[in-house]
C-alpha cells in the first residue's frame, strides 16, 4: 500500500509507526499550483486534515485512491458524493477531539469577556490597569450554544461550574440530551436574544452555511460576545465585521474563518475586542494522539476487511 500523510498531522511518527512496516508512506502534501494533484497520484490512502480539500477534481485525479482518512470530526473538506461515485471509503474520528475544542471555546469566551488583547496592549504601551476598560464576568451570565453535538454538550458540561443559564439551538437534538446539563433547547433567535455569550459549535453543512448573519447579529445583545470554534462559513464574516464596526455586539473569540489561513491584513485583526487563534482548538497532545490512534485503527481495519463502527465511516447525505 502507498500512503501519503498531511504534514499538519503531528506527531506524524505516531501515525506512521501505527501502520504496517511494509507500506510505502510519505509525509507532506502541498496544495498550490497542481501540487496536490501530483501528490495523490498513485496513492491508495491519504491521511488529511481540513487543510487539504479533497474535491471531486482531486478524487478523480487520484485513480488508485481507496481510502480518505480525515483527522477530526468535520468532513466538509471532502466531497463525499465524489468519493462514493469512485468507490472510495471515507473515514474520520468524530468526537475524539470534542473536549479539547470545548475547552478552547471556553478559553475564547473568557479571553474575550476579560478583554485580554486590550490588557496586553496596555502593558505594551507602558501603561497600567487604570487604562483598562472593565471586563465582563462569565459567571452568572447567560450562555447560548449554537449546535448541541459532541462539542456543544461538552461546552455545557464545562460551564456547569460557572453557574450560568444555558440555552442551546439545535433542531436535530432531542430535549433529553440537553436536560442532563441543565440546558434549555430553544430556537436560534431565542438563544441569540437571551445570551450574553454565544458559542457556535455547529457542523458546517449547506443548511448551516451563513447560519449567523446580519439578522442574527441584530437579534443579539449589543454587548454580547460571539465565539466560533465550528467552521468559519457558519458565521457570515462580512456581517460579523459590520456588527463589530457598528458596536452591534461586544466582541468575538474566533478560531475559524471563511478564508484559512486568515490573511495577516484581515480586518478582524484591527479590533481589540476580537480574540483570534489559528484553528488550533483541537490541537492538544491528548486529543491529537487519541484521534491519530483511532484513525490508523480505522484504516487498518478497512484494509483488512474488518468491521469499522458506522460512526467512523462518512457517507454522502
Q: Which of 104, 115, 231, 288 is an active site residue?
A: 231
Beta strands (DSSP E) in the chain are: 2-5, 24-27, 45-48, 67-70, 89-91, 142-146, 165-169, 183-185, 197-200, 225-228, 251-254, 274-276, 313-314
- Nearest residue to 168 via CA among 160, 179, 256: 179
d(CA 156, CA 164): 9
Neighbours of 283 (CB within 10 A): 17
Residue 198 corresponds to which cell in the numbers above?
A: 454565544
Q: Characterize 213-243 residue by residue with b for buried, 16 or more Cβ atoms within 10 angstroms of its Cβ, and e for exposed.
A: beebbebbbeebbbbbbbbbbbbbbebbbeb
Within 13 Å and on the Cβ side, how many CA atoms surround 187?
5
- Active site residue: 56, 260, 285, 311, which one? 260
**Is residue 131 annotated as part of the catalytic site, yes or no?**
no
Enumerate the β-bridge partners of residue 273. Answer: none
Contact 121, 272 (CB under 8 A): yes
Sheet of 142-146, strand order = 183-185, 165-169, 142-146, 197-200, 225-228, 251-254, 274-276
Give 315's contacts (C-beta < 8 A, 6+ positions apart): 80, 84, 90
For residue 279, indicate whether it is catalytic.
yes
Residue 260 is among the residues annotated as catalytic for this protein: yes
Q: Which of 92, 104, 115, 279 is catalytic?
A: 279
Alpha-carbon distance 112 to 226, whole Å?
Answer: 9
Active site residues: 231, 260, 279
Amino acid at each position: 500500500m502507498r500512503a501519503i500523510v498531511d504534514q499538519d498531522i503531528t506527531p506524524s511518527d505516531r501515525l506512521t509507526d501505527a501502520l504496517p512496516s511494509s507500506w510505502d508512506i510519505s509525509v507532506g502534501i502541498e496544495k498550490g499550483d497542481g501540487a496536490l494533484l501530483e501528490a495523490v497520484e498513485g496513492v491508495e490512502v491519504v491521511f488529511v486534515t481540513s487543510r487539504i480539500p479533497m474535491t471531486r477534481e482531486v478524487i478523480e485525479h487520484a485513480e488508485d485512491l481507496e481510502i480518505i482518512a480525515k483527522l477530526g470530526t468535520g468532513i466538509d473538506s471532502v466531497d463525499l458524493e465524489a468519493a462514493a461515485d469512485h468507490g472510495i471509503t471515507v473515514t474520520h474520528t468524530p468526537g475524539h477531539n470534542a473536549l479539547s475544542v470545548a475547552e478552547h471555546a471556553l478559553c475564547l469566551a473568557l479571553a474575550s469577556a476579560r478583554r485580554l488583547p486590550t490588557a496586553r496592549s496596555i502593558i505594551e504601551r507602558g501603561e497600567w490597569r487604570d487604562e483598562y476598560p472593565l471586563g465582563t464576568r462569565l459567571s452568572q451570565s447567560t450562555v447560548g450554544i449554537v449546535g448541541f453535538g459532541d462539542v456543544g454538550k461538552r461546552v455545557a458540561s464545562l460551564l456547569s461550574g460557572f453557574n450560568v443559564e444555558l440555552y442551546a439551538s439545535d433542531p436535530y437534538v432531542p430535549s433529553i440530551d440537553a436536560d442532563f446539563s441543565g440546558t434549555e433547547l430553544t430556537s436560534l433567535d431565542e438563544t441569540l436574544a437571551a445570551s450574553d455569550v454565544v458559542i457556535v459549535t455547529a457542523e458546517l453543512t449547506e443548511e448551516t452555511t451563513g447560519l449567523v448573519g446580519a439578522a442574527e447579529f441584530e437579534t443579539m445583545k449589543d454587548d454580547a460576545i460571539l465565539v466560533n470554534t465550528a467552521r468559519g462559513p457558519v458565521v457570515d464574516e462580512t456581517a460579523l465585521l459590520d456588527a463589530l464596526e457598528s458596536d452591534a455586539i461586544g466582541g468575538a473569540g474566533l478560531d475559524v474563518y471563511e478564508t484559512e489561513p486568515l490573511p495577516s491584513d484581515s480586518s478582524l485583526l484591527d479590533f481589540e475586542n476580537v480574540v483570534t487563534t489559528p484553528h488550533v482548538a483541537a490541537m492538544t497532545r491528548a486529543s491529537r494522539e487519541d484521534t491519530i490512534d483511532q484513525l490508523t485503527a480505522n484504516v487498518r481495519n478497512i484494509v483488512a476487511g474488518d468491521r469499522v463502527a458506522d460512526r467512523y465511516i462518512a457517507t454522502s447525505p
